[in-house]
Amino acid sequence: MRILGIDPGLRNMGWGVIDASGGRLSYVASGVCRSESGSLAERLLALHDGLVDVLARFGPDCAAVEEVFVNSDARGTLKLGQARGVALLVPAKAGLAVVEYAPNRVKKTVVGVGHAQKQQVAHMVRLQLPGALPESADAADALALAICHAHHAGSGTSLEAVMRRAIG
């Protein structure tokens, strides 16, 4: 299974692609889609086009996106939510299953601690994916999302799997 992890951001949207086969993970690629200037619409379009290109180049089977966190800056949270909409829309439009993970769950899965620092996450990503040298914390976080999904995809803990068991 080829997994695309996406760390949403309006200025820098991290992405990371890994292959998962059984318990074995391997690094494919990572990077950042950037939108540094222009109107909000132009910036969202740049992120969209960047992610469309990533999907075309690497052909992932599914995507994992970080859930949005709410902070005291309502405007910033709203803008992040709009960038996150692009991160959800692009893989969904391509027909991929899209799963969302809370930041603490990703950190707990990758580092073992739910409140790990960014440097710890990047270090553990490099340990778990030999050859991975993410260019930024955003790319490392995206790879961490992909790793998290690789560990939880078959666990039956997704909402869909839980609902199937509940309905019978």
Residues annotated as catalytic (active site), given as ranges: 7, 66, 138
Q: What is the CA radius of gyration of the chain?
A: 15
Tokens 């409140």 label which residue?
A: 115
Which residues, at least 6 apart from 55, have a Cβ–Cβ distance to it below 8 Å? Answer: 4, 90, 91, 94, 96
DSSP code string of 100-151: EE-HHHHHHHHTS-TT--HHHHHHHHHHHSTT---SSHHHHHHHHHHHHHHH
Which residues, at least 6 apart from 112, have a Cβ–Cβ distance to it below 8 Å? Answer: none
Q: Measured between alpha carbons, how far is 4 from 84 in angstroms, rounded to an integer?
A: 14
Q: Is 91 exposed, middle or buried (0-12, 13-18, 19+ CB in 10 A)?
A: buried
